[in-house]
Amino acid sequence: MNHLQEIIQSVEVFLNSCGVERNPDIYPEECKDVIELHSIIIGDRNEVWLKGYWEPYQEEDRHVLFSISKSFSCMALGLLWDDGIVDLNCPMTTYFPEYAHLADGYMREVTLHHLLSMNAGTNIFTTSRICTHGERDDWAANFFADELPHKPGTYFQYNTPASYMIGRCVKQLSGKNPLDLLNERIFWNMGIRDVQWDECPLGCNTGGWGVWMRPSDLFKIGQLFLRKGIWNSRQLLSDTWIKKMGTGVSDTSRLQNDTERGYGYQTWINASGGYSFRGMFGQYCYIIPEKDCVMVITSGTHQKERQSKCVDQLAADLKDFHDQSEALLPYEYPALSLRSLLAGEISSMQSSYREYQMEPNREGYESIGLLLGEGHGYLHLNYDISQGGFRNVLPFGYGTWGYGTRTCKGKISCWTGGTRKVATCAGTADGELCMVLQFMESSNAEYWHFLMEGENITIERNLNCGDNGDISMETLRGDSRL
């Protein structure tokens, strides 16, 4: 068995442990125990050995990376550290004197080192009160005004506002957003383009989440770390900083997680070896220097602990990639597909276009239209003024994917506004119309179950993955006579 065959064998074991079928022909509600994979890429510092994308996800599409963004904030700060303009042990109030009057108690002692290692003195997640639902639009002001229960450096607590403040410090010292700095000095030099990063109300990148990047480009970042920061003979990021990121600083044993052995600078130290960037709903970039291996996985699942164990076991099973002399082409998994719907007897439902005026709802749907044609159809999503008044038309197939885009103004279930790609598939379950709306640049999918009776419509909905395992969504109701 050659090296590539060993990799394929290890991946097959991984897919089985995730409950993944090659081409599942099953309604989503029957797949709740399946870990939904979107992509997988494995290789060494020079080559891709294996890759696969699950339809409708495609290689050219970006994927939201959630907390992997934290590692990019750290990379941006590392550029300033390489330039000699950052002292990791100075109090944060040194860099932000305009907020010093808000800092009290332990907050006056917080340094970049504490933020990077997630030892900033908090004992709970504070993202809501600092960022998303803070007293002020200025997240830095909310951060400095927060009361810390622990002396910095004495208590590990994974916390997203720490990563935001790392990115905010980058902007404070360089005058540039972390993404702009990374584009100029790292990404563009590696041929990485079209990266997006969400911003806070004041225009700074969100730091701890919000990066949208192609999985293949994330794989390149892993290769850069294996190459000690060198790309095309240029030192883009110092090996010293890369070692800081990948060396355990914080003790995470109280978390009792079998897949990790500590926390570095915005990275997790893997139980299986090496370190990793990790994001919510199953986003991973494993960097394993002792095996010369990079592994990238994107997903859509809320089964965090189960998937982490599966991913870490795959990393442990992979053989050492050093000194491989085999001249093999990378293996690409053929015909992988996410679960789709059964076409069923949709022909009996064919009708002319009908539009329903929706009752008030949290997502701002003003009306929803439906056209069931022969072989395909169209879903019309019309938003009210709170979501920008956009009109979206999503094509769908029966048992197959149709491709379109959805535009909205503000945050709904899958992104913070803007236009994103959507793949839509229709079918039947128990004789009733169902749809999957797969948001191809995110982890999320929505399952819509249509109940139509006379002039009335009810749409029961669920997510494939949600915060803390909550996959419920608001039920929509409408009437074609309104």
* CATH code at position 237: 3.40.710.10
Does the pLDDT at position 482 exceed 80?
Answer: no
Domain tally for the chain? 2
Residues 327 and 366 in one domain: no
The rounded distance, in Å, linking the Cα atoms of 330 and 179 is 31
* 322, part of any domain: yes
Does the pLDDT at position 413 exceed 50?
Answer: no
Does the pLDDT at position 156 exceed 50?
Answer: yes
Lowest-confidence pick of 96-100, 175-179, 276-280, 427-431: 427-431
pLDDT confidence of residue 32 = 60
pLDDT confidence of residue 27 = 47
Does the pLDDT at position 295 exceed 60?
Answer: yes
* 276, part of any domain: yes
Residues 350 and 280 in one domain: no
Residues 133 and 74 in one domain: yes
Omega before 56 within 30 of 0, i.e. cis = yes
For residue 2, name the pLDDT band (cuts at 50, 70, 90): confident
Q: What is the 3-state secondary structure (H, E, C) of 176-235?
A: CCHHHHHHHHHHHHHCCCCCEECECCCCCECCCCCEEECHHHHHHHHHHHHCCCEECCEE
The stretch 282-308 carries a mean pLDDT of: 95
The stretch 273-294 carries a mean pLDDT of: 97
The total of other beta-carbon atoms located within 10 Å of residue 239's CB is: 13
pLDDT confidence of residue 19 = 84
Residues 213 and 352 in one domain: no
Asked whether 477 and 457 are in contact (CB, 8 A), the reply is yes
The stretch 266-273 carries a mean pLDDT of: 97
The stretch 76-91 carries a mean pLDDT of: 98
Residues 377 and 324 in one domain: no
Structural domain including 365 reads 346-479
| Assigned token pair, 234 | 């240029």
Single out the residue in 297, 332, 367 at which a domain terminates: 332
* 8, part of any domain: no
For residue 164, name the pLDDT band (cuts at 50, 70, 90): very high
pLDDT confidence of residue 365 = 95
Q: Specify the higher pLDDT residue, 414 or 358.
A: 358
Residues 314 and 387 in one domain: no
Does the pLDDT at position 435 exceed 70?
Answer: yes
pLDDT confidence of residue 60 = 95
The rounded distance, in Å, linking the Cα atoms of 311 and 202 is 37
pLDDT confidence of residue 347 = 54
* 117, part of any domain: yes
The stretch 174-189 carries a mean pLDDT of: 98
For residue 429, name the pLDDT band (cuts at 50, 70, 90): confident
* 404, part of any domain: yes
Give the global pTM. Answer: 0.94
pLDDT tens digits, residue range 45-64? 999 999 999 999 999 999 99
The rounded distance, in Å, linking the Cα atoms of 40 and 54 is 9
Element (DSSP H or E) covering residue 453? strand 445-453
pLDDT confidence of residue 350 = 59
Lowest-confidence pick of 81-90, 222-231, 333-342, 363-372: 333-342
Does the pLDDT at position 319 exceed 80?
Answer: yes
- From the centroid of its chain, how far is CA 216? 14
Residues 278 and 422 in one domain: no
The stretch 274-288 carries a mean pLDDT of: 97
* 46, part of any domain: yes
Write out the DSSP string of 6-59. Answer: HHHHHHHHHHHHTT--SS--S-GGG-TTS-EEEEEEEE-SS-EEEEEE-BT--T
Residues 267 and 353 in one domain: no
Residues 183 and 74 in one domain: yes
User: Smallest Cα–Cα separation from 452: which of 460, 464, 463?
Assistant: 460
Mean pLDDT of the chain: 91
Single out the residue in 332, 363, 386 at which a domain terminates: 332
Asked whether 264 and 117 are in contact (CB, 8 A), the reply is yes
Residues 327 and 358 in one domain: no
Does the pLDDT at position 160 exceed 90?
Answer: yes
Lowest-confidence pick of 87-91, 346-350, 411-415, 446-450: 411-415
Residues 434 and 291 in one domain: no
The rounded distance, in Å, linking the Cα atoms of 185 and 263 is 26
pLDDT tens digits, residue range 90-117? 999 999 999 999 999 999 999 999 999 9
The stretch 319-335 carries a mean pLDDT of: 74
Asked whether 52 and 39 are in contact (CB, 8 A), the reply is yes
* 340, part of any domain: no
The stretch 281-289 carries a mean pLDDT of: 97
The rounded distance, in Å, linking the Cα atoms of 335 and 55 is 8
pLDDT confidence of residue 414 = 47
Cβ neighbours of residue 143 closer than 8 Å, sequence gap 6 or more: 130, 161, 164, 165
* 453, part of any domain: yes
Residues 209 and 353 in one domain: no
Single out the residue in 332, 364, 382 at which a domain terminates: 332
